[in-house]
Structure 1
Amino acid sequence: MSRAARALHWRNQRADGSAVIYFLIGIQYDSKIMMKIINENKKYDDLIVTSLKDTYDNLTLKHVPYYIKVDDDVVLDLDRLNQQFILSWNSSNIYGAIRYQDPVIRGPFNRYFMPYKYYKKKFYPPFAIGMMYIMPQEAFRKIWRILPFTIWLRLEDVFYTGIAAEIAGVERINIDFMYSRNSIQTLSNRWECDQYGRSRLVVASSFCNSDDLRKFHRKIREIACLKHEYTKLSIETFWQKLKKILSNLNL
């Protein structure tokens, strides 16, 4: 995914927003690629380069005391996320699109293959899918304390937000502002809003190329609001319930 496409939505937040964006990547042993990374960081000053080799199997080892983990094919509106969620969360929980009773895949040629010797159960505990999840500081600390006693697994989202979280007693909370499809046509032009008329849609995934990412970014920013329809429905429901109560009281 090109830097220009990523920057379109990561850097196109409110001018007065408080979010600061950095990109976490692993070290590259190809000297030409590493020099490109160094030069890019000199220009943008937004790369954090770790001593880990940047591979899919090493995703589990990428960790920080507090973070929102986002895949590079995901559109995330940070300002909207801050409005809808971050200010009201419980720091002891993990938040994301939670999967329940997800079966363990044993096929050795599958990307998500899990050998029986590492995990013997048929189903994983509830876990947040890796496209985007939020791990507040207290949840991180609880999980961090039990990691020395936990067998490392290669599936990062299952390991941290499922197995390790289960052992640590960290609750996983499903959030409803995520949209996971790869076609812009399937995303509705209108979305549920909060009481202030702001769309609750914060995250959209996933995209095959940079052009699709740009299109989804525009749509997620311009999406219309269903607030008035929901408000009308709520008022009608309220009056129906009130009439029923008054009828029962013989008023």
Structure 2
Amino acid sequence: MTNIGDVYENLSLKILSGLNWFQTCCKEVDYLFKVDDDMFVQVNKLINMLQKKDKNSRLILGNISRGWKPVRNPKSKYYITQEQYDRELYPDFATGPSYIISGNVVSDLFNSAKDEKYLHLEDVFVTGILGELNNVTKINVPEFRNNANRIPVRFMGCTMENTITIHKVLPEEQEEFENLAQNPSCHRRRGTHPSFKKNSQNIQNKP
């Protein structure tokens, strides 16, 4: 449990609190799965993917963003000042809606955060900056669909066969997504929805 205020500026603090809980209560667990509450997750596919990984590797798995620049527009939700972060590019990072961290690097990430300048963008800070500092290998998993815009279930079709997580799923859609996952419909060609192909590349890089 934590009493950290539920505000955007505290995102990284909330994740660090989770890392601290993990290293205290789950020391023998192989992986930590961070996922937002507006995600649909195919748990069996997630487990199958992880079973093929080397449990001794130091990994961050997810939808990896590369070459992102800090937003310098003061009107943006994602505004970062030069004082907060003065490099031209962020390190490669796993976008926030869903990612996996190897259990064997959780303590390193948490402990190194104490000596780093705080950045509230948790995906950039934890998986990017702290991940780079601790030489954690970041692996892109295309099946993590951390899309910027919501895609209704009726447009997913057989795309469900090639997904592990899907972003921006409404609570009332969870059962419909589960039903489609159990019996994928391939009557539509993959990517029929005009925003799907665009958004699968143009992933959201902020929680």
- TM-score, normalised with respect to structure 1: 0.60
3-state SS, counterpart of residue 53 of structure 1: coil
Partner of 1:79: 44
Distance 1:190 1:93 in 2: 26
Distance 2:174 2:73 in 1: 31
3-state SS, counterpart of residue 130 of structure 2: helix
Distance 1:166 1:116 in 2: 20
Distance 2:108 2:51 in 1: 19
Distance 1:200 1:140 in 2: 28
- Shift, 1:88, TM fit: 2.1
3-state SS, counterpart of residue 52 of structure 1: coil
- Shift, 1:217, TM fit: 3.5
Aligned match for 1:155, one of 99, 109, 121: 121
Distance 1:60 1:96, change over 3 A: same
Distance 1:186 1:113 in 2: 33
- Shift, 1:220, TM fit: 3.0
Q: Percent identity?
A: 26
Larger CA deviation: 143-152 vs 162-171: 143-152
Partner of 1:221: 182
Structure with bigger gyration radius:
1
Q: Is the 8 Å Cα contact of residues 98 and 174 (structure 1) preserved in structure 2?
A: yes
Partner of 2:63: 97
3-state SS, counterpart of residue 85 of structure 1: helix
Distance 1:213 1:112, change over 3 A: farther
Q: Is the 8 Å Cα contact of residues 84 and 200 (structure 1) preserved in structure 2?
A: no
Counterpart check, 1:189 vs 2:158:
yes
Distance 1:101 1:86 in 2: 30
5+ residue gaps, structure 2, are: 23-30, 187-207
Distance 2:51 2:135 in 1: 21
Distance 1:86 1:158, change over 3 A: farther
Distance 2:54 2:38 in 1: 25
3-state SS, counterpart of residue 113 of structure 2: helix
3-state SS, counterpart of residue 90 of structure 2: coil
Partner of 2:13: 61
Distance 2:73 2:179 in 1: 39
Q: Highest relative contact order (Cα 8 Å, sep 6+), 1 or 2?
A: 2
| Alpha-carbon RMSD | 2.2
5+ residue gaps, structure 1, are: 1-48, 192-198, 226-251
3-state SS, counterpart of residue 3 of structure 2: strand
Distance 1:216 1:178 in 2: 15
Distance 2:83 2:3 in 1: 29
The one-letter code of the counterpart of 2:3 is S
Partner of 2:100: 134
Distance 1:206 1:190 in 2: 16
- Shift, 1:73, TM fit: 1.0
